[in-house]
């Protein structure tokens, strides 16, 4: 059975392919930098969505002898690559705008271009709404990145539409150049968040402060637990990882200490039931972080 995440990337890839064909054809025929900019962005959308499918497909594979913790970080890697590709596309579009200004290129097929961009805008809005639903349901980083990516496309399509209408009624090509330049800068800016989030996951950033505080409360919720130390947390794909040492009285039986640890693990896993919790608890008869018996 195909997961919701995979379906989402397949839908996104199909939409990107259709939009690429429409925009690229009109962009080349019309000579509009704004339309061509949107076309190039759709081409990149296609490759990014296909890569996202690959990333999700691999991240869903279970842990094995080669990847003991699974392949969850593939999603973060995909986010970084996607952000980098978006940045490169933004720089290319900025170059196109500058080139049109220098060579005084004019646009044509204005009416057809306007119709194509209206169609593209409607399709993209529908895709964003669908991706947002899947992102909220699955809390998947790749789908969130894709939703954000296509959300920037909505604003890009609106800007292109404004540009085409402006040039059509005024004849001033500078409008197309300015809008194309603004879109390119916006695209570059929008890529920063994707790259930052992906890099932080790859660097094993800890869970957010609110979740960490709740974890600490749970660790001390059992009266038999004297203290804890060496608490470490991180996240990757749909997994939250927690490592911690729990300090018990030295006379407690291993059986009782193990049962208490199970209770704590159960409480931790309920903090966010949309995530899989990988919890590793080390049982200490004394606080070995200080090197002495308590």
pLDDT at 292 (0 to 100)? 53
pLDDT at 1 (0 to 100)? 67
pLDDT at 57 (0 to 100)? 76
Enumerate domains of the chain plus CATH numbers: 4-202 (1.20.1510.10), 209-284 (3.30.70.1350)
Contact 226, 245 (CB under 8 A): no
Write down the pTM of the prediction: 0.65
For residue 55, give the DSSP letter. Answer: H
DSSP string over 103-130: HT-----HHHHHHHHHHHHHHHHHHHHH
DSSP string over 144-200: HHHHHHHHHHHHHHHHHHHHHHHHHHH--THHHHHHHHHHHHHHHHHHHHHHHHHHH
End-to-end CA distance of the chain: 53
pLDDT at 294 (0 to 100)? 46
Burial of 268 (0-12, 13-18, 19+ CB in 10 A): buried
Please give the sequence-ordered ranges of beta strands (E in DSSP) within 13-58, or none if there are none: none
Q: What is the pLDDT along the chain (294 residues), one digit of tens a residue?
A: 677 888 888 898 898 888 888 888 887 777 777 677 777 777 777 877 777 777 777 766 777 888 877 777 887 887 788 788 778 877 877 887 787 778 776 666 678 888 888 998 999 999 999 999 998 888 777 788 788 778 878 877 887 888 888 888 888 888 878 887 887 787 788 788 778 888 998 999 999 999 999 999 999 999 999 999 999 999 887 789 999 999 999 899 999 999 999 999 999 999 988 788 999 999 999 887 765 544
Residue 92 CB coordination number (10 Å): 16
């Amino acid at each position: 059975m195909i997961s919701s995440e995979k379906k989402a990337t397949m839908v996104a890839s199909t939409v990107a392919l259709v939009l690429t064909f429409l925009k690229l054809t009109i962009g080349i025929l019309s000579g509009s930098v704004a339309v061509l900019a949107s076309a190039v962005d759709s081409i990149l959308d296609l490759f990014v969505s296909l890569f996202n499918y690959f990333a999700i497909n691999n991240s869903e594979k279970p842990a094995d002898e080669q990847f003991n913790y699974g392949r969850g970080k593939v999603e973060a890697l995909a986010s970084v690559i996607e952000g980098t590709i978006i940045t490169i596309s933004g720089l290319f579009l900025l170059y196109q705008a500058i080139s049109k200004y220098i060579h005084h290129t004019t646009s044509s097929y204005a009416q057809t271009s306007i119709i194509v961009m209206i169609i593209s805008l409607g399709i993209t809005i529908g895709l964003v709404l669908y991706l947002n639903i899947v992102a909220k349901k699955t809390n998947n980083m790749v789908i969130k990145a894709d939703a954000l990516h296509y959300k920037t496309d909505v604003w890009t399509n609106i800007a292109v539409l404004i540009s085409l209408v402006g040039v059509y009624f005024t004849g001033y090509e500078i409008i197309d150049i300015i809008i194309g330049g603004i879109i390119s800068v916006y695209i570059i800016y929008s890529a920063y968040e994707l790259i930052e989030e992906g890099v932080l996951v790859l660097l094993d950033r800890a869970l957010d402060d609110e979740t960490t505080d709740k974890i600490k409360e749970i660790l001390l919720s059992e009266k038999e637990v004297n203290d804890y130390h060496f608490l470490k947390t991180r996240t990757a794909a749909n997994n939250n990882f927690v490592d911690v040492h729990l300090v018990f009285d030295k006379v407690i039986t291993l059986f009782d200490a193990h049962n208490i640890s199970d209770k704590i693990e159960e409480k931790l896993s309920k903090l966010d039931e949309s995530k899989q919790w990988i919890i590793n608890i080390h049982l200490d008869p004394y606080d070995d972080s200080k090197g002495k018996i308590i």
